[in-house]
Every structure is written in C-alpha cells, then in structure tokens.
Amino acid sequence: MESIFSDLGAFGLDSDQPLDFSGQSKEEKPVKKVVTRKKTEQLVFDRKIKCPVCDHEFLSKTVKSSINRFEKTSLTLRPIYSKIDPLIYDVIQCNACGYAAQNTTFNKISERQIKTIKEQIASKFISKDEPTDYSYKTALIKNKLALYNAIVMGSKSVNKAYLCLRISWIIDGYLETIEDDKKEALTLERLNFVKNAYTGFLEAYETISFPVFGMNQPTYYYLLGVLAYELSDYSHSKRWLSKVMVAEGSHQRLKDKARDVKDLVNQKIKEEKEASSSE
C-alpha cells in the first residue's frame, strides 16, 4: 500500500513519514447532501487567523454552528449535521509554513513544538496558493498535513488516533460525493486510516483519562468494537462491544448501537462459515 502521506510530497514534505504509535513519550500532557455554493456562503464566515508558528495572518472559513443542527452519528461515530459538514472546515492550515491543526488545538502549541515545526516542516515546506475551495478533497489533504504535524511534534497516540479516525470520516463524506469507479482506491485508503485509528486507540487505552474527545469509557469501548468490526477482527469486536453492555455509565442508546454492531458481526461470521462450508 502507498504511504498515507504520498500526496504531501507536493509540499516538499517527507512522503514516507511513518506513523508509529509505539515508543511515544507519555510524559506530555449516509445521506448525500448537495449544498450549492451560494447556500454554503450563507453557512460559513471568514475568521482571521494568526499562525502561532510563523505569525502569518490569513482568513479561514468556519461554520456558523447556530444554523447547522446536529442530527445523528454514523456507525463509527462520525457526526452528521443538517446543512453542512463541519469536518470540511475543521483543520486550519497555514500556507506560509505548513503548520496545520484542528480548529480547537491550533493555538495550543508549546514553544518547543513551534521550534520543532520550524525545523522539520517550515524549513522544507513549499508554499501553495491559499486554497479557495473547501471540499472533502481539500479537507483530506489538510487533515493529513495536521496528522503529519502531530507526528512531528510528538503528539500523544490518542491525538494521532483521533486524527486518523477523523480522516476516515472525511473519506466517508468524500465517498458519498464521487463516482463509483473512483471509490475502490479511496475505500482502501479509508481502511488504512481505520486501522491506524484502531491501533492508536488501543495503544493509548492504558494511559488516557476519560473523557477524551468527548468520549466516556463505554463510548471508547464501542469505538474500539466498531473499528475492529470494520477491520474484520470479529472476535475482538465482540469482546469490546460486550464491555459496552456492562460498563458503568453506559447509556441505553449506546448499548442499542453496540447491539446493532454485534448483529452485524454475527451476520458476517455466519456468512463466512457458510462460504467456507460450501467450498
């Protein structure tokens, strides 16, 4: 499989940057929506951003949250909204130095991390024109750049895993908007991010304190269960989903969702048994 960062080569960055969850320092703290351009303009606004790494000032679009109603979450907990997908707008990227991070963490960067990004990203970064369009395609690149930044600045496993999960959500949205013949490669790429998210969340499990990214412990179990299901690791999937049923603080809605995934797992196991017995 191609490196997950193969399309960051155009920025002058290392396309072979490995994503490794081990050995990290633990000390540091389906509804396709068509929104026209005019409609989109009414749903977002420009926010002035100052890059904490290089002081470059630029505008970045942000969703007006007041008119975008949360509707539900997908199987892998991707939040689905009524009008526009905020995931497209979530990562802020500085086109002068290559620093990129989620909206909520963009300014939460230490002096040491700034120094590292200057040395390992900004010094190599090939600046591109400020992107004017916001789409799943551009969001995918921005999120990969955010993951690259997170790796370089030594972010915790759980942060990197969460970025991988978000990238898989972006690809979910992207897949809803492209033609069938282009879906295969993207589906494979999605699975690679699901795998990295699962590996990272597993690695982080022993060391995190809940809640993490809005998830309590039962939700974290659910997420591990559904990611294992997506990776066809049915025995682990069932084990994590069973924990959802008995965990303290587990809500009925989450238990129902876990039961739905368990049904899917059992269906898959049955199908595989049937396929192997008919061979």
CB of 53 to Zn ion, least distance (A): 4
Window 102-141: contact mask with Zn ion (x via CB under 5 A): ----------------------------------------
- Among 20, 40, 56, 195, the residue binding Zn ion under the rule CB under 5 A is 56
User: Interface with Zn ion includes 96 (CB under 5 A)?
Assistant: yes
Taking CB under 5 A as the criterion, the residue among 8, 53, 161, 171 binding Zn ion is: 53
Output the 3-class SS for the chain. CCCCCHHHHHHCCCCCCCCCCCCCCCCCCCCCCCCCHHHHHHHEEEEEEECCCCCCEEEEEEECHHHCCEEEECCCCCEEECCCCHHHHCEEECCCCCCEEECCCCCCCCHHHHHHHHHHHHCCCCCCCCCCCCCHHHHHHHHHHHHHHHHHCCCCHHHHHHHHHHHHHHHHHHHCCCCHHHHHHHHHHHHHHHHHHHHHHHHHCCCCCCCECCECHHHHHHHHHHHHHHCCCHHHHHHHHHHHHHCCCCCHHHHHHHHHHHHHHHHHHHHHHHHHHCC
**Minimum separation from the CB atom of position 199 to Zn ion (A):** 30
User: At closest approach, how far in Å is the CB of 98 from Zn ion?
Assistant: 7
Stretch that binds Zn ion, among 14-22, 80-88, 98-106, 165-173 (CB under 5 A): 98-106
Closer residue to Zn ion, CB minimum distance, 150 or 194: 150
Asked if 204 interacts with Zn ion (CB under 5 A), we say: no
Smaller CB separation from Zn ion, 91 or 97: 97
Interface residue with Zn ion among 4, 92, 97, 204 (CB under 5 A) is 97
* Nearest distance from C-beta of residue 131 to Zn ion, angstroms: 15
Pick the binder of Zn ion from 19, 51, 139, 151 (CB under 5 A).
51
Residues engaged in binding Zn ion (CB under 5 A): 51, 53-54, 56, 94, 96-97, 99
